[in-house]
Amino acid sequence: MTVETNKNSIIFRNIDSLSIPLSLDCGQAFRWTETSDGIWHGVAFSRSVDISQKENTIIITGDIRDGDEQIWADYFDLNRDYSAICEKLKIDNHLKTAIEAYPGIRILRQESWEALCSFIISQNNNIPRIKGIIERLCVHFGEDLGNGDFTFPSAEKLAFLCVDDLSPLRSGFRAKYIIDAAQKVANGEVDLRKLSYCDIDEARQELIKIKGVGAKVAECTLLYGCGRVDAFPVDVWVRRIMQELYPEGLPECTKDVEGIAQQFLFHWRRNVE
């Protein structure tokens, strides 16, 4: 892989195993939209960008700052050898089918707070509405970047609000959970930074101190917001997969990359009957 940085763009070439459309639109992240054919627009790290892909090259344009190569390489997990991981996962026949049906799914490494807050909102909810609630959250409480783009509001900002302030989001009973999460993160009671490296069970314990964060939301936060590919979120789809295909548990080849296996199986199971 090579990186080329210009004034308003970053170009990654010769990337292995990456599909931008699949990775941005498989239920991991909620703020990307395909604005025209093959152009994905969104905001992450307070940067408004457009991303497009041609074969093994991706181009990121828009708000590009010094040193941002690292941010986007991390976001798309470009320094992990997905080819090797997928080869190993394909030892299992179901995973082989899933990976070959949807090649190029990568685990996005989103900002921890955004992932935590997004997956609190995701509970007992469907994707169109999750996107709507998050959009309203950003419009009401994020910083205006112009052109209709807003940052994801910080925990510190939301910690000053009360449940009633969130009523325009129409997030229902999740509002009190958002406030509790914001307060615990802002006051340091929950330290999101250490979740990326501490013992994973300790990380789980840390997250479920937050009201509205159970096992599922905690695993999603660790997988999509902390780079923990050993986290394994079990939602209704994955539960079905486990019952139907793996009643004895996950196969050995998924060890330490359970989250990557999960993402392929989840997307495959949702898209075929």
Chain positions contacting DNA, by CB under 7 A: 122-129, 132, 170, 172-174, 177, 208, 211-218, 235-236
3-state SS string over 26-86?
Answer: CCCCCCCEEEECCEEEEEECCEEEEEEEECCEEEEEECCCCCHHHHHHHHCCCCCCHHHHH
Buried-state track 53-78, b at ≥16 Cβ within 10 A, e below 16 = beeeebbbebebeeebbebbbbbbbb
CB of 99 or CB of 166, closer to DNA:
166
Least Å distance between CB 3 and DNA?
A: 37
Closer CB to DNA, 208 or 253, in the complex: 208
Q: Which is nearer to DNA, 1 or 236 (CB)?
A: 236
Structure tokens belonging to residue 33: 């939209």
What is the nearest approach in angstroms of DNA to the Cβ of residue 16?
A: 31
Give min distance, CB of 55 to DNA, in A.
30
- What distance in Å separates the CA atoms of residue 219 and residue 197, rounded to the nearest whole number? 14
Write the DSSP symbol of residue 197.
T
Using the minimum distance from each CB to DNA, give the nearer residue, 94 or 174.
Answer: 174
Cα atoms found within 13 Å of the Cα of residue 95, Cβ hemisphere only: 22
Q: How far is the CB of 90 from DNA (least distance, A)?
A: 27
CA angle 218, 223, 228 (to 5 degrees): 110
Q: How far is the CB of 25 from DNA (least distance, A)?
A: 13
Task: Name the residue nearer to DNA (CB basis): 145 or 234.
Answer: 234
